[in-house]
Structures are given as structure tokens and as C-alpha cells.
Amino acid sequence: MSSDFEGYEQDFSVLTAEITNRIGKIPKLVGDEKRQLVSSVEKQLEEARELLEQMELEVREIPPQSRAMYSSRMKSYKQEMEKLDTDFVSETNI
């Protein structure tokens, strides 16, 4: 089970790095290019949220004695997701 969680973690890490990179490019673009990138980032943010949901489901299945470590990691990932959402809103409201 934890191997599923770790797989989701890896996917989340790669995806959030790509989202961060793309959010940084948004202010430099205009017109259709900007709209396309914004749309793409919105889809990636949704995908990242879905990965978080999958990880949460995995954590619920982990025995209580091991759950604390995973719960702590989940808290960190949720904070990262909130920051991405905030950064995205900030860059698209320019």
C-alpha cells in the first residue's frame, strides 16, 4: 500500500514542479498563448488535487502506528497545493 502512496508522491512532485514552472511563464505571455497556458495549468492543478485525494485514501488504509508519518507528509503536500493555487490566482489576475 505505501508503494502506491509513494508512486502518487512521485507523480505529485513531478506535476507540481511543472506547474510551478508554467505559472512563472504566465505573466510573460499575452493573448491566445496566455489563455492556452492558463487552461493547461488549470487542468494540471485539478490533476494534482486528484493525486492528493488518492494519497489521502491510501493514508486511511495505513495501519494507525504508521499513519502519523504519512499524515505529516500529506499536510505538507496540501500546503504546497494551497501555495500553487495562490500563485496561480496571483499570476492570472495581473
What are the grid coordinates assigned to 12, written together?
505529485
| Structural contact between residues 23 and 35, judged by C-beta atoms closer than 8 angstroms | no
> Looking at residue 3, what is its pLDDT?
81
> Looking at residue 66, what is its pLDDT?
86
Looking at residue 92, its amino acid is T
- End-to-end CA distance of the chain: give it in Å, rounded: 43
Looking at residue 46, its amino acid is E
Q: Give the mean pLDDT per block of 10 residues along the chain (94 residues).
A: 86 98 96 97 99 95 90 96 97 82
Residue tagged 494519497 (cell numbers): 55
> Looking at residue 6, what is its pLDDT?
92
User: Can you tell me the distance from the alpha carbon of 61 to that of 52, in angstroms, rounded to the nearest whole number?
Assistant: 15
Give the DSSP letter of residue 90.
H
